[in-house]
């Protein structure tokens, strides 16, 4: 009986194994059939989608078209297609933009109008904005700049520059331009303005352009400007250049260009501007992410319009060839009352920089940097007083700028090669500099990592790395510990 029971148990085990094998075999057979059916269905769906998309002018590889509704932000709203525009990336839509601006300009006394740019690729030559305008770019909308310079108009040099920044004489205008405007909003569901600058960059490097390249977006002598919730990319030259404007806000904007071989593609260049806020932006470009300016040498001195009352906050920026946040070098009208706070600079050649030279005149003062983070930056804090580029030989070398009241609070980071390099001179000393709460991890444990020349100021509390001997030392309560007698000592090393 025991043997029979054992035999019965063995057969039950074999039947169970056979049953599992059949189930597994059936499962895999069914699974293979199911996967094959799913792949067939997938490719059939893709084929139909691409056929339908191609009929509408879009391929599978382009961004999906958004179905988000346009908000109505003005009393009347137009669609760009109402004026004959075609968003196929081939048709030139300059006339449609111009007709739209004309229609909105006629409604200025009634609150202006809104121009909606729907999803599509809207090729255009440069066009002018109008007052009391909201330009709204849908998700999937991309305004493309035509890359043939014969379509770009020539403009007189900026009055505070005297000549083109790259070539004497006139300069190319911007893709989107405005002068003497009031109440202009450029916003959207993160649509894009694309300068298609690759051709311009190549021609600049080949030295075949006869005039200074044009910005992507330039607004001059205007007030009450808002740029928000869009992407600006691949500008031929500076990306957004507000000139002699008041009450300008840039918020939630992404600005992009290749970090190499995209020359002079600054992100935002406030130039002789007053009462400006730049916040909550991401900028990664081929030159300064932000550069505050106010005119060039004798022309800027004569024009006499400072940049002042500027707040820059909550940014992530990158510049592999220049600096995250710069002041100058064109600062001949003066720069004052600037606050830069809550900014992360990563993967950059320099983090924050002030640059000027004899001949500039003007001043840089009342500048506060607060809560900055440097990550993998070659040089953290830079002041350079020998940036010798001039518009012509008519500059006055005795017109020296003054640099004073410059404050660095809560500066932190890691992977920084030289945390500080402040290079004043006997002609242009740097005065009233303050450091407080600084701790920057360094990549090279060399002696000269906090470099100073002709600098006067103070350090409050303990900072790392140890400061240069040019600065007075104070404790956390503001009591003097040691007064420096070496303000004019030079400890600059450009070899690393």
Which residues have a catalytic role annotated? 287
What is the DSSP code (8-state) at residue 109? G
**5, 8, 145, 373, 442 from 11: Cα distances, Å:** 10, 5, 80, 73, 74
- 198 alpha carbon, distance to own chain's centre: 17
Lookup result for tokens 């918020």: 251
CA torsion through residues 443, 431, 305, 166, sign: negative
Joined together, the tokens standing for residue 392 give: 């012509």
Q: Which residues lie below 8 Å from residue 42, measured CB to CB, with a gap of 6+? A: none
- Beta strand spans in 174-273 (E): 176-179, 182-188, 192-194, 217-220, 223-228, 231-233, 240-243, 246-251, 254-256
* Residue 34 DSSP class: H
Distance CA 52, CA 241 (A): 41
The residue whose two tokens read 């009929």 is 55
State how far the Cα of 238 lies from the Cα of 287, in Å rounded to an integer.
Answer: 9
Name, in order, each residue with C-beta under 8 angstroms of 28's C-beta and a sequence gap of 6 or more. Answer: none
Please report, for residues 22, 161, 296, 383, 408, the alpha-carbon distance to residue 387 in angstroms, rounded to integers and kept in the order given: 81, 16, 12, 10, 22
Cite the beta strand spans of 10-82 per DSSP E.
77-79
> What residue has token string 């400061």?
467
Quick one: DSSP state of residue 464?
B
Determine if the peptide bond prior to 329 is cis (ω within 30°). yes
5 vs 216: CA distance, rounded Å = 90
* Nearest partner of 358 among 426, 303, 433, judged by Cα: 426
Q: Phi and psi for 413 in degrees, rounded to 5? A: 170, 180
**Token pair recorded at residue 436:** 């407080």
How many other C-beta atoms can be found within 10 angstroms of the C-beta atom of residue 282?
17
At 386, give phi and psi (nearest 5°).
Answer: -130, 40
Name the burial class of residue 475, with classes exposed (0-12), middle (13-18) and buried (19+) by CB atoms within 10 angstroms of its CB: exposed
């Amino acid at each position: 009986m025991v043997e029979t029971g054992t035999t019965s148990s063995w057969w039950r085990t074999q039947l169970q194994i056979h049953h599992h094998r059949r189930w597994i075999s059936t499962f895999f057979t069914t699974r293979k059939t199911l996967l094959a059916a799913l792949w067939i269905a997938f490719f059939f769906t893709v084929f139909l989608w691409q056929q339908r998309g191609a009929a509408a002018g879009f391929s599978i590889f382009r961004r999906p078209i958004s179905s988000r509704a346009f908000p109505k932000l003005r009393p009347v709203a137009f669609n760009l297609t109402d004026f004959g525009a075609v968003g196929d990336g081939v048709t030139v839509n300059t006339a449609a933009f111009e007709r739209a601006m004309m229609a909105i300009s006629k409604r200025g006394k009634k609150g202006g109008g809104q121009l909606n740019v729907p999803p599509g690729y809207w090729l255009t030559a440069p066009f002018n904005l109008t007052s009391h305008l909201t330009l709204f770019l849908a998700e999937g909308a991309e305004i493309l700049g035509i890359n043939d310079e014969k379509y770009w108009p020539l403009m007189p040099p900026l009055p505070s520059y005297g000549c083109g920044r790259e070539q004497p004489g006139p300069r190319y205008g911007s893709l989107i331009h405005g002068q003497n405007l009031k109440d202009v909003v450029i916003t959207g569901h993160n649509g894009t303005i694309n300068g298609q600058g690759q051709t311009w960059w190549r021609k600049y490097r080949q030295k075949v352009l006869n005039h200074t390249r044009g910005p992507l977006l330039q607004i001059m002598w205007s007030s009450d400007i808002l740029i928000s919730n869009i992407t600006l990319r691949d500008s031929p030259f500076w990306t957004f250049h507000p000139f002699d404007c008041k009450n300008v806000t840039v918020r939630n904007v992404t600005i992009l260009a290749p970090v190499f071989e995209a020359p002079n593609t600054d992100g935002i260049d406030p130039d002789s501007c007053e009462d400006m806020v730049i916040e909550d932006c991401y900028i990664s470009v081929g030159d300064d992410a932000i550069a505050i300016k106010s005119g060039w040498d004798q022309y800027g001195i004569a024009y006499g319009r400072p940049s002042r009352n500027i707040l820059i906050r909550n940014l992530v920026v990158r510049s592999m060839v220049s600096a995250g946040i710069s002041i100058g070098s064109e600062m001949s009208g003066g720069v004052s009352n600037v606050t830069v706070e809550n900014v992360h600079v990563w993967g950059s050649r320099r983090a924050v920089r002030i640059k000027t030279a004899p001949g500039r005149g003007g001043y840089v003062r009342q500048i506060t940097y607060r809560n900055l983070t440097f990550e993998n930056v070659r040089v953290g804090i830079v002041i350079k007083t020998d940036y010798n580029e001039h518009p012509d030989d008519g500059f006055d070398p005795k017109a020296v700028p003054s640099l004073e009241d410059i404050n660095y609070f809560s500066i932190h980071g890691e992977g920084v090669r030289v945390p500080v390099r402040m290079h004043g001179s006997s002609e242009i000393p740097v005065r009233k500099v303050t450091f407080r709460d600084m701790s920057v991890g360094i990549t090279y444990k060399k002696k000269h990592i906090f470099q100073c020349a002709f600098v006067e100021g103070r350090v409050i509390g303990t900072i790392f790395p140890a400061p240069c001997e040019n600065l007075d030392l104070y404790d956390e309560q503001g009591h003097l510990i040691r007064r420096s007698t070496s303000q004019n000592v030079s400890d600059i090393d450009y070899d690393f």
